[in-house]
Structure 1
Amino acid sequence: MTDRYQADGPQVDFEPGSGGQVLANKLGITEIADIEEAELILLEKLYDAVLVDALPERALTVADLRIWHRRWLGNVYSWAGEERSVNLSKGDFHFAIAAQIPRLLSVLERDCLLRFTPCDSLTDEALIEAIAVTHVEFILIHPFREGNGRLSRLLADVMAVQAGRDPLDYSPWDADRQSYFDAIRRGLANDYEPMKQLVATALGV
């Protein structure tokens, strides 16, 4: 499904019969509502597997993100778990170019994942910073062809649960999408304060 992005590059394939609205998939789904439902059902299963059945109580890695993505969407898309090879933009906002993703993921792992996780010993203030910085940097990279926003929320929730808190309440973010997008943009200049405020609200701190 690509109504959220514009993409360019050699691997832009759509499901025949979808009118260019649904990415090529293993299930032959051509309707947006149907692919969204399938992704949601599988995401709920991933949440159960990661947060309930086997919460990682260790430092997280980029390999974890790839595994989660593949476990979530592997039955839907052939490229699940693989870094994207197409460039993505949303409106006039361009995410990291595909060629830079491997390098940027290495930086994300070093400067965020290995620095902040596991989050079990963090104060509320430190947890807010950890989630905010990691979330912004992950979104700016947008490493996968589809599902980055939802995977970034799972990552934030894992960090919160590691710290002994409940998963975040994202309803305020969804209610004011412009503030959320503005916070992501501010992260381009390493200004994480707007996102920290959003994370604090989502954590109920």
Structure 2
Amino acid sequence: MYLHRWCVAKCNQVKIVCQRTNEKFSFFIMNDVRMLRATFVIVFILGITCSIFISLFLDYFRTPKDSVPGTKVRVFLPFPFEHNMGILREGGEITKESLELSIRKADIEPLASTTEALSSLQVALELRSLGKNDKALKLLEHALALAPKHPDVLNHYGELLEEIQKDILKADQMYFQALMQCPDHRAARANRQRVKHAVEELDTASLHRIDHKRDTVAAIPDSNPALRRAKKEAYFQHIYHTVGIEGNTMTLSQTRSVVETRMAVGGKSVVEHNEILGLDAALKYINSTLINKLGGITVEDILEIHRRVLGFVDPLESGMFRRTQVYVGGHIPPRPRHIPPLMEQFVEWLNSEAALRLHPVQYAALAHYKMVHIHPFSDGNGRTSRLLMNLILMQAGFPPVIVLKQNRHRYYRMLELANDGDVRPFIRFIAESTEQTLDLFLWATEEYISDFPAIGSSAKTIIMED
């Protein structure tokens, strides 16, 4: 009995000792876990602090070379960073300093090219003094390619064009561009003043000749079978060349097939089909609604034209002013928020007495250019502008003018010259296209061609397919 009690007492003592040992061990484990957590937190905070100090240290001691663009290779990115897209933001403004800097970079030509151009100019002048005008002209063309905005090169090139080729219009254009670069250029100013009267006479004679051809076409009876065939052919030609200028690859026969049958052409995209259908719808709308409309042209009329031009291609954007900034070569059109008031001003000019007093070809060409310059739509600006131009011409008794797709580069070049300040070359280009279209009708109705013996194979090329 005594032994049993002694064993029980010893067991209890052992249990107490084990419990105390476990409690001490658990206490040490808990302390170790807490210490480990605290260590991780301290190391993490120290890492962040060190990285911040290192970054500030590198920024402070960065060399100027690192901040100079173009001194090291950069990864090409598909989209610019936000700070390079300031012009896209409606609320942003372009500072005067940044605008002047960009103009200066764009206008200043490389020194080496300018030096070579001036050397070529000096040699050309020497050859010209020796009577070797053909060689002098080639050297001046080379100098013009090297320094297309140098006023001396432009002026001397114009003088040589006037002397050798007797091309007064192009010479006057060179003088004008020289004055645009240097308004105080005495030789260019004197040359332009000298040819001014002759240029005006040539432009007036061209417009009179166009009026005479228009009156001759207007005198042809509507029942004339040849005229009816010519109108139908001109309709397909107009669609084919108008969409072709924008890059449509449909041939003339394919364009005719899409318009007449509404059947798809194999190997051509849906967009190309819809561009043709949209232009067909816009022409029919103009012919049935706007051409005989009383009153002036309105903004809604222009939107309705565009709604049909782009209706099959992009129904959501058709008939709507653009809501984003766009870029057209070197021309930056107005911001989207400026478009509605600019279009109101444009329509006000369209219906003004000063505009209506202009010759229809001049009036139509200026309307075309002014609208393209505003660029009010995200797409279809060129087609809508050419349709507006043809609406004005049709109201004045002219047929719809066909701007040939073969003249695409020249067409855009004339628009660029207009952006540079000289809109006359573009007006002459539209006058030339108008005369070509009239020649098409006169050639198609052979009994009326006797009044214009100069109409020959050049008119036939209008109705030939590429």
Does TM, normalized by the shorter one, top 0.5? yes
CA 143–117 in structure 1, closer or farther in 2 if over 3 Å, else same = farther
Of residues 327, 331, 337 in structure 2, which corresponds to 1:99? 337
Contact 2:285 2:305 in 1 (8 A): no
CA 78–53 in structure 1, closer or farther in 2 if over 3 Å, else same = same
CA 146–72 in structure 1, closer or farther in 2 if over 3 Å, else same = same
SS of 1:69's partner is helix
CA shift for structure 1 position 65: 0.5
User: Does residue 271 of structure 2 align to residue 35 of structure 1?
Assistant: yes
CA shift for structure 1 position 137: 0.6
Of residues 283, 286, 302 in structure 2, which corresponds to 1:65? 302
CA 157–177 in structure 1, closer or farther in 2 if over 3 Å, else same = same
Contact 2:309 2:380 in 1 (8 A): no
Contact 2:88 2:325 in 1 (8 A): yes
CA 47–118 in structure 1, closer or farther in 2 if over 3 Å, else same = farther
Contact 1:84 1:145 in 2 (8 A): yes
Of residues 380, 388, 392 in structure 2, which corresponds to 1:159? 392
SS of 2:326's partner is strand
Comparing 37-46 with 144-153, greater Cα deviation is found at 37-46
In structure 1, give the amino acid aligned to 2:298: T
Contact 1:137 1:187 in 2 (8 A): no
Provide the rounded CA distance (Å) in 1 between the counterparts of 2:387 and 2:310: 14
CA 53–84 in structure 1, closer or farther in 2 if over 3 Å, else same = closer
CA 80–151 in structure 1, closer or farther in 2 if over 3 Å, else same = same
The aligned residue for residue 193 of structure 1 is: 424
CA 164–94 in structure 1, closer or farther in 2 if over 3 Å, else same = same
CA shift for structure 1 position 168: 0.2
The aligned residue for residue 145 of structure 1 is: 378
The aligned residue for residue 361 of structure 2 is: 128
User: Does residue 414 of structure 2 align to residue 183 of structure 1?
Assistant: yes
SS of 2:352's partner is helix
Contact 1:157 1:168 in 2 (8 A): yes
CA shift digits 1:40-62 (9 cap, x unpaired): 11220221121246524431111
SS of 1:89's partner is coil
More helix by share: 2
CA 118–191 in structure 1, closer or farther in 2 if over 3 Å, else same = closer
Contact 1:117 1:159 in 2 (8 A): no
CA shift for structure 1 position 188: 3.0
Provide the rounded CA distance (Å) in 2 between the counterparts of 1:38 and 1:175: 22
In structure 2, give the amino acid aligned to 1:51: N
CA 118–70 in structure 1, closer or farther in 2 if over 3 Å, else same = farther
Identity of aligned residues (%): 24
User: Does residue 322 of structure 2 align to residue 87 of structure 1?
Assistant: no
CA shift for structure 1 position 117: 11
Comparing 90-99 with 151-160, greater Cα deviation is found at 90-99
SS of 1:67's partner is helix
Of residues 73, 77, 82 in structure 1, which corresponds to 2:315? 77
Of residues 267, 276, 286 in structure 2, which corresponds to 1:50? 286
Provide the rounded CA distance (Å) in 2 between the counterparts of 1:91 and 1:59: 32
CA 62–190 in structure 1, closer or farther in 2 if over 3 Å, else same = farther
State the structure with bigger RCO (CA 8 A, min sep 6), 1 or 2: 1
TM-score in terms of structure 1 length: 0.72
TM-score in terms of structure 2 length: 0.34
Provide the rounded CA distance (Å) in 1 between the counterparts of 2:431 and 2:326: 29
Provide the rounded CA distance (Å) in 2 between the counterparts of 1:116 and 1:81: 28
Contact 1:67 1:81 in 2 (8 A): yes
**Which structure's CA Rg is the greater one?**
2
Comparing 72-81 with 136-145, greater Cα deviation is found at 72-81
Provide the rounded CA distance (Å) in 2 between the counterparts of 1:32 and 1:116: 46
Provide the rounded CA distance (Å) in 1 between the counterparts of 2:363 and 2:377: 22
SS of 2:327's partner is strand
Two-structure CA RMSD over aligned residues (Å): 2.8
CA 117–72 in structure 1, closer or farther in 2 if over 3 Å, else same = farther
CA 85–116 in structure 1, closer or farther in 2 if over 3 Å, else same = farther
CA shift for structure 1 position 133: 0.9
CA 118–193 in structure 1, closer or farther in 2 if over 3 Å, else same = closer
SS of 1:94's partner is coil
Provide the rounded CA distance (Å) in 2 between the counterparts of 1:51 and 1:179: 28
Contact 1:60 1:118 in 2 (8 A): no
Provide the rounded CA distance (Å) in 2 between the counterparts of 1:117 and 1:48: 30
Provide the rounded CA distance (Å) in 2 between the counterparts of 1:185 and 1:47: 27
More strand by share: 1
